[in-house]
A and B are shown apart, each in its own frame.
Chain A
C-alpha cells in the first residue's frame, strides 16, 4: 500500500521536522520512502511544501501526481489550500487554524475556514494553542502530526520512537513535551473523526 502525504507551510515553520519524524519511522518500519523538500530562495518566508511517499512497494516518482495525495498536513490554513489539486477527492486535510500573515493581501480568515470546511474530510484545529497550553509552543507541528497519525501507514509506537530519536539531543524534557503534543493532537483529532 502506498500513502502520499503533502506537508505545507511557510519557510521556517518546521514542516521538515514533521518530515523527519515520518522518514525515520518509515525507515525503521522497513518501508520504502521518498521525501522531497524545498531549499534555497523559497525557504525565505515563502510558501514551502514537502511530498512524502511511504509504501511497502517500490516508489518511482519523488513528486506526488495530482489528485493522488491521501493527506495534506499544514501548519498554516491558507497554505493548506494551496495544494488542493493534489488531494484525492476523499483525502484528508489536517491543518492548524492560525494564520501566518507576512503578505499585504492575506485573505479574510473566515473565507479560508469556509473553504477548508467544504472538504469532506477536514481536521481544522488550533494546534498552536494546544502546544502552548502544554508549555511548548514550538511543538505545534508535532500536535498536527499527532492529529494526522491515525491516518498514517505507520504505527503509533514507531512515530513516538522517531520523536524520541530526533529530539533526544535536546534533552528529556523536550522529548516528553513533544510526545505529549503528539498524544494531545491525536486525542483531539479522534474526537473530530469519530
Chain B
C-alpha cells in the first residue's frame, strides 16, 4: 500500500530507512516538515534517533558532523538561507570529509514564498566540491535519500540534497521498503582526517580535488541522470530536478520529440551534455532557481547562442518554474494570463488575532509620535509582519539576528532612538553575540525581545530560549536595572509606553523582554511553559 507523503516526508522516511542515528536542524520554510516527521515517527522513536531542534543551522551541522565522526549516519536539515549560517562548517567538512554517511538537506525557495531571497544551494555544493542530488518527484526523493547515504560513505564526503518548495510541500502516494540498521560506533581510520591544521588541511584538500574525477564518473553512470532519446534535434533539453516534471507535463498526450537530459545528480554528467551539444542545434536549460547549469555550459562572451534558458530570456530570469512558463519556452501557443477580475483584492499574511507582537507594535508606534528620529530594526519570524500595514513599525528586515547588530551600527552612526525587535528563538539563534558587542561598548540601544515562547512562524516549534532569556541576558552582562519584563496586553498600553520610553532614554544597552506566549500554541505546550516558569521562580 502506498503511503501519502509530502516530498519532505518522503525524504524523512528515506533517511530513517537508510539507518540514520540522528537528524539535526533548525526550522525554516520549506524544510521544517522533514525534522518534524522524524520527531513523530514511531520507528524513529523506537530506534532512539536523535531529532531535537538545534539553536541554529551551524550548531546543527556541527553536531551532525560529530555524530558522523563517531561513525553513525546522520542528516542535517535547513532552508536555503540557513546554509549561509552553517557555511563555515559546510565548507570545511568537505575538506575533512566524513566518517558515517552524512547528508546535508537544503530546501530552496524559488519565488520567495516564505523567504527574503531565492539563492540556489547548488552554488554551495559546487563551492564545497561535494556531490549533489536534486530529486524530481516524491518517489525519487525517497529513493535518492537512501542512495545519498551510500554515496556519502563510498566517497567519504558529505552529500548535498537539494529540495525546492513545490516538491517539499506536495503530497503523493509513495512506495517505501527496505531499511538499514544503524551503524555501530567506529572512529575514523585516519587519525589526522578531522584535524584541519594547515599541514593536514593541505593534504585533505588535495585529496578532495583528486576525488573530483570519481565524483564525475559516478555521476556519469548514475541512474538518476537519464538521457532520453528524441528524433527532433532542433532543440536538446536539459531539465534538472522538478523542472523535469513541468517539462513532461507539456507532453502528457504526445511523446516529446526532443532529446532530453534529466539531471538529478551532480557534478554535471559531461558525456551526456557533450552528446546533446554534438547532436542538437540548440540546448534549452530548464532549472528551478538560478541559471546554474546554463551558466556552466554557456560560453562566457555569449557569442555562441547555442544555450538558452533563464540567462537568454527564454525562461523568466526570476521566480519559480511552472508548466506554463516552460510551455512558452518550448514555443507553444500559450497565453500566460495573470489578470484577475478587478474586484479581487490582495490578501497578504497578517498576525493572528490576539498576537502579542501586535500589542508591542502599538506601543512602539505611539513612541514614534514623540520622536520622529526613532528607527526600528526588525528580525526574521512572525514579528517581521510588523513591516506591513496596519503597523508599519519595523524599518528593516535582512536576516536572522541583524536587528540588534544593525541597531548597533545605526546607533554608532548617531541614530537615536535605535530599537531592535527580535523574537525569542531568533535571539538564541543569532542575536546573543551581537548583544555582547553592544554590552562591551555600552551602545545606546533598546533591544526588545518579543518572547512568544515558540518558533511561531514555522508552526510553533520549541524555542531554545524558553525560560532562559533573563539568565542569558544577565550572563552576557546586561545591567540588572536595564533588564526589564513587559506584559504586552492592550490593558497595559499606557503603562508600557512609559516603561519603554524610560529605557529608550537610557544611554546604554537596555533589554526589554516582552513576554506572552503565541496564541497558536497547543494547550499542552502552554501548560509546560507555566511549569517551567514556576520552576525558574522557585
CB distance from B436 to the nearest CB of A (A): 30
At the interface, yes or no: B457 with Cβ under 8 Å from chain A?
A: yes
Provided the pairs A38-B169, A40-B113 are in contact, do residues A102 and B347 lie with their beta carbons within 8 angstroms? Answer: yes
Chain A contact-residue range equals 35 or more
Instruction: State whether B245 touches A61 (Cβ < 8 A).
Output: yes
| Contact among A44, A60, A81 for B343, CB-based, below 8 A | A81
* Closest residue of A by beta carbon distance from B1: A27
Provided the pairs A46-B348, A65-B327 are in contact, do residues A108 and B173 lie with their beta carbons within 8 angstroms? Answer: no
Residue interface mask A71-113, B partner, CB < 8 A = 1: 0000000110110110000000000000000111111100110
Residue interface mask B143-184, A partner, CB < 8 A = 1: 000000000000000000000001101111100000000000
| Contact among A23, A46, A66, A104 for B4, CB-based, below 8 A | A23
CB distance from B336 to the nearest CB of A (A): 7
| Contact among A11, A36, A61, A108 for B246, CB-based, below 8 A | A61
Provided the pairs A33-B172, A61-B245 are in contact, do residues A44 and B344 lie with their beta carbons within 8 angstroms? Answer: no
Which residues in window 156-181 of A have CB below 8 A to B?
none
At the interface, yes or no: A34 with Cβ under 8 Å from chain B?
A: yes
Complex-state Cα separation, A115 to B340, whole angstroms: 11
Complex-state Cα separation, A101 to B429, whole angstroms: 36
Instruction: State whether A115 touches B33 (Cβ < 8 A).
Output: no
CB distance from B478 to the nearest CB of A (A): 31
Complex-state Cα separation, A39 to B385, whole angstroms: 16
Which residues in window 377-397 of B have CB below 8 A to A?
382, 385, 389-390
Instruction: State whether A36 touches B344 (Cβ < 8 A).
Output: no
At the interface, yes or no: A45 with Cβ under 8 Å from chain B?
A: yes
Instruction: State whether A62 touches B343 (Cβ < 8 A).
Output: no
| Contact among B242, B389, B390, B457 for A62, CB-based, below 8 A | B242
At the interface, yes or no: A63 with Cβ under 8 Å from chain B?
A: yes
* Closest residue of A by beta carbon distance from B323: A65
Using Cβ atoms and an 8 Å threshold, which residues of chain B touch A61?
A: 245-246, 248-249, 322-323
At the interface, yes or no: A1 with Cβ under 8 Å from chain B?
A: no
Instruction: State whether A39 touches B169 (Cβ < 8 A).
Output: yes
CB distance from A59 to the nearest CB of B (A): 8
At the interface, yes or no: A10 with Cβ under 8 Å from chain B?
A: yes
Using Cβ atoms and an 8 Å threshold, which residues of chain A touch B171?
A: 23, 33-37
Instruction: State whether A82 touches B337 (Cβ < 8 A).
Output: no
Using Cβ atoms and an 8 Å threshold, which residues of chain B touch A66?
A: 324, 334, 336-337
Instruction: State whether B249 touches A10 (Cβ < 8 A).
Output: no
| Contact among B114, B337, B345, B346 for A85, CB-based, below 8 A | B337
Which residues in window 239-253 of B have CB below 8 A to A?
242, 245-246, 248-249, 252
At the interface, yes or no: B255 with Cβ under 8 Å from chain A?
A: no
Provided the pairs A66-B336, A78-B344, A115-B343 are in contact, do residues A35 and B350 lie with their beta carbons within 8 angstroms? Answer: no
* Closest residue of B by beta carbon distance from A37: B169
Residue interface mask B347-373, A partner, CB < 8 A = 1: 111111000000000000000000000
Complex-state Cα separation, A60 to B138, whole angstroms: 11
Using Cβ atoms and an 8 Å threshold, which residues of chain A touch B4?
A: 23-24, 27, 33
Complex-state Cα separation, A132 to B380, whole angstroms: 39
Complex-state Cα separation, A22 to B339, whole angstroms: 29
A-B contact pairs, 17 of them (CB 8 A): A27-B2, A33-B171, A36-B166, A36-B171, A39-B29, A39-B33, A39-B459, A40-B458, A41-B349, A45-B352, A60-B252, A61-B322, A65-B322, A78-B344, A84-B340, A104-B389, A115-B343
Contacts from A to B (Cβ < 8 Å): 2, 10-11, 23-24, 27, 32-47, 51, 57, 59-67, 78-79, 81-82, 84-85, 102-108, 111-112, 115
The list of the 7 closest CB pairs from A to B, nearest first, reads A40-B29, A40-B114, A46-B349, A61-B249, A62-B170, A36-B170, A65-B323
Known: A33-B4, A84-B341. 18 other contacts (CB 8 A): A33-B172, A34-B170, A34-B172, A35-B172, A36-B169, A37-B170, A39-B32, A39-B459, A42-B114, A45-B347, A47-B347, A60-B246, A62-B167, A62-B245, A81-B341, A107-B343, A107-B345, A115-B343
